[in-house]
Amino acid sequence: MSAVDPRAAAAPAAGRAAAGAAAFFDLDKTVIAKSSTLAFGRPFYRGGLVNRRAVLKSSFAQFVYLLQGADEDSMNRMRDYLQALCAGWSVDQVNAIVAETLHELIDPMVYAEAVALFDEHHARGLDVVLVSSSGEEVVGPIGQMLGVDHVIATQMVVRDGRYTGEIARYAYGEGKAVAIRALAAERGYDLARSWAYSDSCTDRPMLELVGHPVAVNPDKALRRHATEHGWELRDFQRPVRPGERRVPVPPGPPKAYAGAVLAAGAAGLAWWATGPHGVSGITESP
């Protein structure tokens, strides 16, 4: 399997010459202001996938995530918890919920500064790649909406149209770096000429791969590391209004993605799942 599922390649890539380098962007708190998958808590509730308690916890988790960021232990707890949570969910139902609510939920979160960088890198002949530990059925449509060229995301095993709870590819930490190397080999990217953007110290393997690492809205550990190593620092603050966005939005409904509902970038929910509040009731029927 290549680094990127061909279903997850956004339309603009087909119409451009092969790029010699790329700009790799983390998603949560780098391109958008919050956790991409936690944003879908209420639509998942309306669809019967989670109960009311889980929605309330995910709403508070957004706040915790924005304040505390993520570390390796919380991300691993998140992975284990959400593997169990999504086992048995219908892939078609998850895809439909994401397609129906994508613009309503994600549009208000997109940073204007990130969109401007997409335009800048495309104008210089670079591909733009979203690299996220969230599931591909969320990251793929977001990438298509924003006009990126490829996405790298977490993938779950699907059997008979439902998630089994097993992970096929976990795009986190060193896993992001492995996937980027594979994509670079496939597409001929020169990583020394490439850029990478992230807010989290857990993405150091990705940032250290490229010649131009940039810490965006960095957590304390990443800010310290970036300062010590002379990396560029940027603060993104202004979500862009949909009417201001210059990147093309492909016509028609979003593509279908059989991936994962792992919100691995949403460390706040892992805090809820494993902290003093416990998980009682989260997987009950709504």
pLDDT of 40: 73
Q: Is residue 28 part of a domain?
A: yes
pLDDT of 198: 97
Q: Is residue 280 part of a domain?
A: no
Q: Is residue 282 part of a domain?
A: no
pLDDT of 91: 87
CATH of the domain at 80: 3.40.50.1000
* Residue 248: both structure tokens together: 């093309």
Q: Is residue 194 part of a domain?
A: yes
User: Closest Cα to residue 111, out of 24, 240, 25, 216?
Assistant: 240
Residue 23 Cα distances to 53, 209, 230, angstroms: 39, 12, 19
**Given 5, 26, 149, 199, which residue is catalytic?**
26
Q: How many domains does the chain have?
A: 1
pLDDT of 190: 97
Q: Is residue 283 part of a domain?
A: no
Residue 138 Cα distances to 100, 153, 155, 194, 248, angstroms: 12, 9, 11, 25, 19
- Provide the residue range defining the domain that includes 60: 6-273
pLDDT mean for each 10 residues of the chain (286 residues): 37 52 96 78 76 51 44 61 74 89 88 95 97 89 95 91 86 94 97 97 96 96 97 89 50 43 36 37 29
Q: Is residue 76 part of a domain?
A: yes
Q: Is residue 177 part of a domain?
A: yes
pLDDT of 37: 66
**Given 28, 127, 149, 199, which residue is catalytic?**
28
Is 219 among the catalytic positions?
Answer: no
pLDDT of 50: 67
Alpha-helical (H) ranges within the chain are 41-46, 52-68, 72-86, 91-106, 112-123, 136-146, 174-187, 204-207, 220-229, 267-274
Q: CB burial class (10 A; 0-12, 13-18, 19+) of residue 63?
A: exposed
Q: Is residue 265 part of a domain?
A: yes
Is 107 among the catalytic positions?
Answer: no
- Whether pTM exceeds 0.85: no
pLDDT of 51: 61
